[in-house]
Structure 1
Amino acid sequence: MIRGLYNAAAGMLTQENRHDTAVQNLANVNTPGYKQVNSVARSFPEVLISMMGGSSDVPTPTIGKLNTGVFAEEALSLYQQGVIKASSKPTDFALVSDMEMTDPATGQNIKFDGSGKFVSANGEVIYKPEAFFTVQDQNGQIRYTKDGSFKVSTDGRLLTSTGYQVLDSNNRPIVLTGSVDSFKVDGQGYVLDPKTGARGQQIGVSVVGQPYQMVRDGEGVFRIDDPQGAGVRLLAGNDRVEVRQNYIETSNVNASEVVVDMNTALRAYEANQKVIQFYDKSLDKAVNEVGRV
């Protein structure tokens, strides 16, 4: 009976985490570049139950397996591209990315599923590479973001909406030399001279080969603890990535799907709550009524 209480409590905690994740997604449905998060639940290891107290001459009979509950293991981000919307601000940017990869087994282009994953014939899991703006936090640490709603500081530095420094392809701060109205960038991210049209600094765009190794760091940015293991590299000329000025990538949150998931988590939470109340009443009877007999 006590084991049932623990299992139901674990279920409540898992559904609470699932509900909180859905609320977070809904709160960021209008946040540029936000990527939807899905809560992943896992079951605790099963245990094999055997009968106790038997004779040493008789083999102990096996009763069966027992599941020991569930827990919220992790939260996975979906890196599907959001809708690209036109903007009137010259400091708004969007990355239009459609990276291609070849299946090493067949030599054909990979068709990734909705989550950006592909499983080859030999069981190898391949993830779709994703492109991110390269930025720097206040401590000088490299971070990555899809939020291209930039702004310009008083000293001409290009910043993210939350104040992170936007870097160029050499990890140097991008500084505007002219007015914001004359700020022009081509499709490869090069800042164009307003008078001659000559290319200057290139907006830093990083391609991440293993995007599921990225960790949310708050304020719309991600960090990567092992850049080499995650396959981080600079944007190459043959990559199918375009930098679009005067555009912004919206959140990829599916609001209707998230609302359904939130309500499902609430109902499951209530069901586990009822189970705990049932066990509580049963224990009450066992202690206060059966104990008097």
Structure 2
Amino acid sequence: MAIAANGMQHDLLRMETISQNMANVLTPGYKKQVLSGSSFSQQVAGGLADAAAASPATLSIDAAPGTLRYTANPQDVAIEGTEFFEIAAPQGPAYTRQGGFHTDVRGRLVGQHGMPVMGVSGEIVLSGPYVIDGNGDVRQGDRVVARLKMVRFANPEALQPLGSGTYAQGAARLAEQGAAPSVRVGYQENSNVSSPQEMVRLTETVRHFEALQKIMQGYDDSLEKTIRKLGDF
């Protein structure tokens, strides 16, 4: 029963990740959440002690790139590679693959949620129309005023979701920068969530939950019969 109860708790958490993924199917640059933990058979093999002290499920993200969507908007850019744009969130540096930029009333280059986009030298402040080159340079006329800061992680799956396609560093480790990253101008990256796959995961999770529920009910019925028969002596 301890093993089954632990599995049902994991199923509830898995349902939450599926809900988050389905709600962000159309969110640019969103990375689907994945919940992992020990299987029922592994816990049974480990015995009751391992079931009672079972490690909690681990939440990670699938950092695989999404497909690119052509927007024809020169302020939209998509990274060609595994890097993330750095933005200045209220709680500190955050990272995103969303490349829909614009300027705010203060002239700062900001992302879709109004948070400043960081350049290699800090915030990017502009005084008029601008263009972004394929190497991430931000130009005004013939002058390069900044370069977008794009960060690579050795284990991007450990990034901590903040919501709406933005992530804190969490347990992710910065990786050495290799070749200079490039961007596609006039494109945005789609979410890497597949609706059909999430529906399959939903069905599997519901059936798994029902199976564990039947295990608990069967064990409870067996225990009840045992107690009743002992009472006859």
Structure 2 length normalisation: TM-score?
Answer: 0.86
Going from structure 1 to structure 2, the CA distance change for 1:6 and 1:245 (only over 3 Å counts) comes to same
Aligned-pair distance for 1:185?
0.7
Show the counterpart of 2:124.
Answer: 174
CA RMSD of aligned residues (A): 2.6
**How many residues are matched?**
229
1:183 aligns with 2:130: yes
Which of residues 112, 121, 138 in structure 1 aligns to 2:90?
138
1:256 aligns with 2:196: yes
Show the counterpart of 1:212.
Answer: 157
Structural mapping, 1:21-40, within 5 Å: 21-40=17-36
Going from structure 1 to structure 2, the CA distance change for 1:65 and 1:205 (only over 3 Å counts) comes to closer
Match of 2:83, SS state, is strand
Rounded to whole Å, the distance in 1 between the matches of 2:65 and 2:120 is: 22
C-alpha contact (below 8 Å) 2:27/2:164 kept by paired residues: no
Q: Kindly, what percent of the aligned residue pairs are identical?
A: 28
Q: Deviations over 1:215-272 (max 9, x none)?
A: 2233422222577xx1345x56x33x32222210000112212211110010010011
Name the aligned partner's letter for residue 133 of structure 1.
Answer: F
Going from structure 1 to structure 2, the CA distance change for 1:192 and 1:151 (only over 3 Å counts) comes to closer
Rounded to whole Å, the distance in 1 between the matches of 2:19 and 2:85 is: 26
Aligned-pair distance for 1:273?
0.8
Rounded to whole Å, the distance in 2 between the matches of 1:193 and 1:161 is: 21
Instruction: Name stretches of at least 5 consecutive residues in structure 2 with no aligned partner.
Output: none
Match of 1:265, SS state, is helix
1:278 aligns with 2:230: no
C-alpha contact (below 8 Å) 1:183/1:191 kept by paired residues: yes
Aligned-pair distance for 1:91?
2.6
Structural mapping, 1:207-246, within 5 Å: 207-225=152-170, 230-232=173-175, 238-239=179-180, 241-246=181-186
Rounded to whole Å, the distance in 2 between the matches of 1:290 and 1:151 is: 75
Match of 1:35, SS state, is coil
Going from structure 1 to structure 2, the CA distance change for 1:260 and 1:201 (only over 3 Å counts) comes to same
Going from structure 1 to structure 2, the CA distance change for 1:72 and 1:256 (only over 3 Å counts) comes to farther
Rounded to whole Å, the distance in 1 between the matches of 2:43 and 2:146 is: 57
1:96 aligns with 2:110: no
Aligned-pair distance for 1:88?
3.8
Structural mapping, 1:187-198, within 5 Å: 187-194=134-141, 197-198=142-143
C-alpha contact (below 8 Å) 1:190/1:199 kept by paired residues: yes
Going from structure 1 to structure 2, the CA distance change for 1:146 and 1:14 (only over 3 Å counts) comes to same
Moved more, 86-95 or 141-150: 86-95
Aligned-pair distance for 1:292?
4.0
C-alpha contact (below 8 Å) 2:60/2:159 kept by paired residues: no
Bigger share in helix: 2
